[in-house]
Amino acid sequence: MEQPNPSIFPHAVILPMPAQGHMKPMLRLAELLCLAGLHVTFVNSDYIQARLLKSMDVAAFCSRLPGFRFESLSDGLPPEHPRAGRLANDLFFSTRSVTKPLFRELLISLGKESGSPPTCVIADGLMSFAVDAAEEVGIPIITFRTYNASCTWVYFHISKLIEEGEIPFQGDKDMDRQITCIPGLESLLRRRDLPGICRLEEIENPVMQYYLSETSAMTRASALIINTFEELEAPVISKLGSLFPKVYTIGPLHTFLKSHIKHSSSPSVSSNGSLWQQDRSCLAWLDSQPSKSVVYVSFGSLVSLTRDQMMEFWYGLVHSGKKFLWVIRPNSIEGEEGVGQTPVEELLEGTKERGFMVGWAPQEEVLGHPSIGGFITHSGWNSTLESLSAGVPVICWPQFSDQLVNSRCVSELWRIGLDMKDTCDRLTIEKMVRDLLEDKREEIIRSANEIARMARESVKEGGSSYCNLEKLINDIRLMCL
Ligand code: UDX
């Protein structure tokens, strides 16, 4: 068997897409690699790094992880540019033109430093310029897609969907039409469950073209990492194995503990990886609530709501009679002239004993709190994984991207929640909250408990994700040959 070269130290350079939902799971992986004794350079955008410096003690984090360092590069956008909602797409093009040469230079300069030159790049599947840069500099590259396996597989079939005439489709026509040309998912997806880009009316749209080229570039990597676990998506994971020499499913990453890594000698350490300051006051409020009585409402880091939509949620929640903890991120309400009359904050003021509002919550702790009975989510993959690991059933209100696929998996495949896709009205919200906490609870909670159990098992010693992470660490070590 091949042995690593003892004179070269394994050193992974990790490049996430500069967004909360991408950076956070990749930072978790970085921590785990460091705890296993590897060197890691984690490359944030300047913008993300500045935010991280405000929300966590970066110096203490780094001092507890020998071999870990942050670097940051420009994302090509001015600091005041909104990096949320549809404007987040601007990052695709600015990073390609501005970050790409900077990243290449960084790889070269790290290679000249004495000590440990980079021996492997792990880059986000939406940052394919890293594949070009790593190839040019001669460093092996692994791609990390932060979506689940099913959605990743769907992205590999976008060209086929175009060839078969399934997309583009006009407006909201025939949205329940079954999509049968994606092997392994023939009976799952309808038109309305396809990723957000499939709703673009023009194939030539630059965002559609971006996703097509990014997805195809991923296959030039020597392996694929996905934050999922075998027991959850086995059939599709094995299909992805036909596109990559190796596929490492190592999720749910957030549940891995230091003790899972054999070679660790560091004290327990973990980042929360939050770009906003967490308001922990909600935990004390949750402590005072009865078991499984509270609905947690959060739409992640990118989704914005109109005032109309906020009002529908507010009415639905209040009329359900249930208590709720609602994350209203700063600047997450679209300022549409003439829409909505009463500020939501004012309405919430009047329902203080029923609802608690924060700007940003310690979400993983919230989902693990015994008072939480359900979660209204936008179905981002991190939020989905966090709720399914905690056994918390969900109501999905997906808006774009992989969220539309995730919510279908949640409601139809895993049966751990209800899908509220393409609607936002108070009566539906009220009914779904009651269904989730009362009328349909028994059936949903049975699947939720079973899936949470499988998630726990996967990261335990000997579990599928545990073993895959060990393989990944070993394979990175072998890249030093
Ligand atoms: C984005 C995309 O929208 C999503 O579809 C994709 O799967 C990943 O990238 P985001 O919208 O931020 O992510 O959603 P999500 O993937 O759920 O990640 C949000 C993260 O922020 C979660 O890890 C969650 O724990 C954290 N969070 C959210 C908090 O810590 N506090 C909050 O109040 C809200």
- Summarize pLDDT for 219-277 with one digit per residue, the tens: 999 999 999 999 999 999 999 999 999 999 999 999 986 445 444 555 445 678 899 99
282 CB less than 6 Å from ligand 1? no
Q: Retrieve residue 419's tokens.
A: 């899908």
pLDDT of 339 above 50:
no
CA of 20 to the centre of ligand 1 (A): 6
Q: Are 45 and 75 in contact (CB under 8 A)?
A: yes
Is residue 411 classed as helix, strand or coil in its secondary structure? Answer: helix
- Structure confidence by residue, pLDDT tens digits, 9-21: 899 999 999 999 9
Taking only the tens place, the pLDDT of each residue in 178-198 is 999 999 999 999 999 999 999
pLDDT at 57: 86
Give the DSSP per-residue string, 78-132: -TTS--SGGGGGHHHHHIIIIIHHHHHHHHHHHHHSSS----EEEEETT-THHHH
Q: How far apart are the first and last CA of the chain?
A: 12
- Contact 39 CB / ligand 1 (< 6 Å): no
Mean pLDDT across the stretch 383-388? 98
For 341, residues 6+ apart whose C-beta sits below 8 A from its C-beta are: none
Res 346: pLDDT: 67
- State in Å: Cα 398 to ligand 1 middle: 12
Cα of 23 from ligand 1 centre, angstroms: 10
Ligand 1 lined by 294 (C-beta under 6 Å): no
Is 297 touching ligand 1 by the criterion CB < 6 Å? no
137 pLDDT more than 80: yes
Residue 401 Cβ contacting ligand 1 at under 6 Å: yes
- Helix (H) or strand (E) segment spanning residue 446: helix 441-459
Total Cβ atoms within 10 A of residue 441: 17
At residue 136, does pLDDT exceed 70? yes
Q: What are residue 122's DSSP bridge partners?
A: 14, 142
Between CA 9 and CA 39 the distance in angstroms is 7
**Average pLDDT of the segment spanning 132-157:** 97
**Nearest CA owner, ligand 1 atom 30:** 363
Percent above pLDDT 90 for the chain: 81
- Nearest atom within ligand 1 for CA of residue 402: 5
Q: Output the CA 24–ligand 1 centroid distance in Å.
A: 9
Question: In the 3-class helix/strand/coil scheme, how is 344-363 assigned residue by residue?
Answer: HHHHHHCCCCCEEEECCCCH
Could you tell me if the CB of 361 is within 6 A of ligand 1?
A: yes
How would you class 55 by CB atoms within 10 Å of its CB: exposed for 0-12, middle for 13-18, buried for 19 or more? Answer: middle
Minimal-distance CA residue to ligand 1 atom 1: 21
Contacts of 319 (CB under 8 A, 6+ apart): 426, 430
Indicate whether residue 302 lines ligand 1 (CB < 6 A).
Answer: yes
Which is the closest atom of ligand 1 to the Cα of 382? 16
Q: Ligand 1 centre and the CA of 301: distance in Å? A: 5
Which burial class, exposed, middle or buried, applies to 293 when counting CB atoms under 10 A from its CB (0-12, 13-18, 19+)? middle
Which residue is catalytic, options 11, 22, 254, 378?
A: 22
Asked if 124 is an active-site residue, the reply is yes
Q: Whose CA is nearest to atom 34 of ligand 1?
A: 300
DSSP track, 12-81 = EEEE--SSHHHHHHHHHHHHHHHHTT-EEEEEEEHHHHHHHHHHS-HHHHHHTSTTEEEEEE--SS-TTS
Residue 481 has what pLDDT? 65
Q: Which residue has the higher pLDDT, 170 or 324?
A: 324
Whether 254 is in the pocket of ligand 1, judged by its Cβ within 6 Å, is no
pLDDT value of residue 337: 40
- Phi, psi of 121, deg, nearest 5: -110, 135
Atom of ligand 1 nearest to the CA of 20: 12
Distance CA 128, CA 290 (A): 48
What span, in angstroms and rounded, lies between the C-alpha atoms of 416 and 436? 10
pLDDT of residue 61: 87
pLDDT confidence of residue 330? 84
Strand order from edge to edge, sheet including 417-419: 355-358, 323-327, 294-298, 372-377, 394-396, 417-419
Cα(2) to centroid of ligand 1, in Å?
40
Q: Are strands 417-419 and 394-396 parallel, antiparallel or unpaired?
A: parallel
Confidence of residue 325 (pLDDT cuts 50, 70, 90): very high
Report the chain's mean pLDDT, rounded to a whole number. 92
Considering the candidates 75, 124, 193, 402, report the single residue annotated as catalytic.
124
Would you say the CB of residue 412 lies under 6 angstroms from ligand 1? no
Task: Pick the more confident residue, 84 or 369.
Answer: 369
Query: What 3-state class would DSSP assign to 70?
Result: strand
Please name the amino acid found at residue 376. Answer: I
- With bands split at pLDDT 50, 70 and 90, how would you rate the model's confidence at 4? low
> Structure tokens of 431?
């009914």
| Residue 263, pLDDT score | 46
Residue 335 has pLDDT above 90, yes or no: no
Determine the Cα–Cα distance for residues 299 and 212; give it in Å rounded to an integer.
26
Residue with the smallest CA separation from ligand 1 atom 2 is: 380
**Of 112-116, 292-296, 315-319, which gets the smallest average pLDDT?**
112-116
